[in-house]
Structure 1
Amino acid sequence: MWQIRPDLPDGTRTARELLLKDPGRVTDTDREALHAFFRSRIEEAKSSDTAASWEEQLGEVLDYTAWHQFTVRLDRANGAGWQPLTKKLHGALSGGEKAIALHLPLFAAVSAHYEAVPQAPRPILLDEVFVGVDTVNRGQVFALLTALDLDLMLTSDHEWCTYGELPGIAVHQLLTGTDDDAVTSARFVWTGTDLEAE
């Protein structure tokens, strides 16, 4: 989840809320609060002992995107509830859990990025996908990728994508000859219920 960085000055959360407010509903009091917030941040930048140029300092003050941090939360269904995914918690996960905990936030971020242009292709390319993730969890991850409407392309020497949660995918198996360097492809289609050779 996106949240305000805890190391930022008081008033940052309020300033963020005011910047996100519908411009038609911003009052004179809101504007004065924003002016006061930015004035104080600029004065802090002026008085700081840094080698950065004035333009760099001003850019840092005005860069509201840097006010945020992304925190991944994990619920392992063990009664502990949602917890921040720290290095310690990540280290205690199994190999498959680690892969899932790292992949799912990335998939969500990619999907959110693609929302800016809804008609554009939504490719996501994965190499040696989900190594160490068990079959049940793989099916659930493919269900998520389908729900996010991502155009999945992957490479693997073991994955055939034959999961009931996946409504369809084309599989191209690369075949090499023993006598020469020729490579050909055999195409299969997973229909959601059957893997059919074409």
Structure 2
Amino acid sequence: MKKTIILLFSILMVSFSVQSAAFAAVSQSPWGSQQKESGQGGGMDSVVGGLTSDVNGLAPMVSTIISSIFVIMFLVGVIKLGYSLVTKTGMVLKGSTGMLIGIPIFIVAIRLFFILAFTTNSSGVTLLVTDTMNALIKIGFLASVVMVLVGLVMTLFNKFLNHPAYVRWSKVLYIGAITVSVLTGIMPAVIRSI
């Protein structure tokens, strides 16, 4: 909990420093005085343009700082993992493995969010949703085929070993395959009709 609070506090401090630097650059920037001298008023578009260019100028520094924070947290997780393996402490092991698994997933999620947020437009979002739905449909049908094949293998094990658990597992796999294939076939049509 303390680490999460420290992480959030450091991200807030970085964001406040970026905002204050951007606002200071807007009030002291030379482009505002040039527009007033040329007879153009300092409109909202010029302020937003100045803020955007200042924030874009600070983006590499902020990215480096955030990446460094995540690397430090990952190294702390590795040290805690070594400590927990030596001392056989379960709670420390649980926390360190959660940190080691969560940080790479969080970094990939942030990168994917920014890539999708800045590279897609309204038609791109529609294509992205359609492609995701088609991929999930194909995964559903493939999963049902795999479930049927594993059920057949379980039936074969029952023939060799004559164990009732294999019969039960194969029936569960067959019912699951039928359910997944029916839902995969029906639900996209239902969702598209809404």
TM-score by length of 2: 0.28
TM-score by length of 1: 0.27
Structure richer in strand, relative to its length: 1
